[in-house]
Amino acid sequence: MPKKGIYLPPQAVEAIQAHIEQRGVDYETFAKKTLKVSVRTLHNWLAAKNAINQEKLDLLVKELGIGIEDLFGEQLPEEYRTRDDIFPTLRLVYETGVALTVKNAYSNVAKLFWQHISFNKFPKTGYFQTFEHDIAKRKNYYCQIWLIPEEEAEEIIFTFSFTIFNILRITYGEVILKKDGVELKQYYQPPNYIVKRPDIKKPLIKVATWFDEANHTFIIGCNMKFKLENKGYISEMDLRHTDDVAVFWKHFFFHGE
């Protein structure tokens, strides 16, 4: 009789083991501090003795920063396939008030709701990093982050998304590192524009995005591995006097401001 539940395939186990080694921690520390489980539970997952639940798998995917399809390949769990079932998810979106929130608070992003929406919280393929906006700490400000790819290329594309009510993810733009500059694309909000590269010799992007009055998880995706450094608050005055920071301005999200 086939096993039920989500079992980690060999490629996912290898990715987890490599991640733990790169972090320089032991399995017990990783299990207890990152996944909030016992080391025995983690070992049972890795040995395919026990299934992992979806909540813990989401946490694991977020920690690894690797798309779920890349981790599971053809063995992608049914739980992740059905998240793109449009009808039950749309019902959930309207019942919880997410649709009204998008319409009222994110006027300029309303078109994105249908064109760049995903019911998977994290990208299915490639690599990604996340950072949190916690309104208990601060709200209504620009946050600056640095993106550092592991290698140089002709073009390196980063996609920017944020979650709403932890239910859906909206991708609102791209930042592209090129040989001669950094291009920012704001979906449905032309024109795109280019700023200077912060460092012509090293692959580096400086980006600022607006943090509003709601909690969000921001997700940055790329087709290659990269590091993310959260530099925190940066003033609008500083942003207007710099020429090497790509900015998703406040008016991109809010009409008339």
Can you list the domains of the chain with their CATH numbers? 10-77 (1.10.260.40), 88-253 (2.60.120)
HSE value, Cβ hemisphere, 13 Å, CA-based, for 95: 7
pLDDT for 99 equals: 56
186 pairs with which residues across the strands?
A: 173
Q: What is the pLDDT of residues 177-215, one digit of tens each?
A: 999 999 999 886 667 889 999 988 889 999 999 998 888
76 pLDDT more than 90:
no
Mean pLDDT, rounded, for 81-101: 56
Residue of 106, 128, 127 lying closest to 117 (CA atoms): 106
What are the b/e assignments for 177-201, b being 16+ CB within 10 Å? beeebbbbbbbebeeeeebebbeee
Q: For the residues 39-67, what does the mean pLDDT come to?
A: 93
CA distances from residue 152 to 13, 47, 182 in whole angstroms, order as listed: 29, 37, 13
Q: pLDDT band for position 170 (50/70/90)?
A: confident
Give the pLDDT band (50/70/90) at residue 106.
low
- Is the whole model's pTM more than 0.85, yes or no? no
What are the structure tokens assigned to 63, written together? 């920690």
100's tokens: 């009204």
Question: What pLDDT shows up at residue 257?
Answer: 40
- CB distance 112 to 168 below 8 Å: no
